[in-house]
Amino acid sequence: MPLLVIADNSIAQLYKQHKAQGSLIISSLDGTSIYVHNQILSEKRFVPASTFKILNTLIALQENVIDEKQIIKWDEENRVYQSWNRDQTLESAFKVSCVWCYQEFAKQIGNERYLKYLKETHYGNEKTGKDLSRFWLDGDLKISAQEQIAFLKKVYLEELNFKSKNIKLLKKIMLEKETPKYSLSAKTGWSNKVGWYVGYIEVNDKVWLFASNLEINSKEDLKLRKSLVIEAFKLKKIL
């Protein structure tokens, strides 16, 4: 169900300044404070790309196809990103967005199990498609920024039907930055000219959920996925 919010003009100016096309939702955990840029776009579904690794990690852990310390052996095939061309752990695979690692998980999980988890978690349109190794990259799975927020809230509150230890491990892996003032847990994504940055920030004893999607026309645009969110936090006095 769409969030009933008023467009935030200061964030709109930020996007205009950077000539960025996209949407952003920043919501307090309790939903009493919600800032949104581009309401219409925030309701539109796109492929989740690597942001699906948040749910995919939980599924892989729940299905016992990987554990925290297990080494994922590199097949010695050279891929486009050097950070992928080595043995991985679950944490490193998540942080460097190692596609081939999660494709290996997908083979073991299977379509039937994925559909079950997508339905149980109400994740986006709950579809996979013909290619199990790419359904979150350029397949049938789609999700909106608003749906990302709803899902992230369940993750943070541990309201999903996964073992508590698995959700806690996911949260540990999601932690991107920790300072004396705040901790930031997040995941980027990029596919089909759509860039994502989703997660939550804990600051001043308050939790804020965020989901941003951005039109990516060149690799230079990729840095805006994070920087626009951080600048928006500062505009709204969250940071």
Q: Is 201 helix (H, G, I), strand (E, B) or coil?
A: strand
Q: How far apart are CA 22 and CA 18, in angstroms?
A: 11
* DSSP conformation class of 84: G
Residues 6+ apart with CB under 8 A from 66: 60, 72, 90, 105
Structure tokens at 239: 């940071």
Phi, psi of 46 (to 5 degrees): -130, 165
Catalytic residue among 23, 27, 42, 50: 50
CB 41, CB 23: distance < 8 Å? yes
Q: Is 176 helix (H, G, I), strand (E, B) or coil?
A: strand
Active site residue 50: yes
Q: How far apart are CA 206 and CA 204, in angstroms?
A: 5
Q: How far apart are CA 171 and CA 46, in angstroms?
A: 24
Nearest to 94 by CA among 174, 160, 18: 174
Q: How far apart are CA 102 and CA 104, in angstroms?
A: 5
Point out the residues that are catalytic.
50
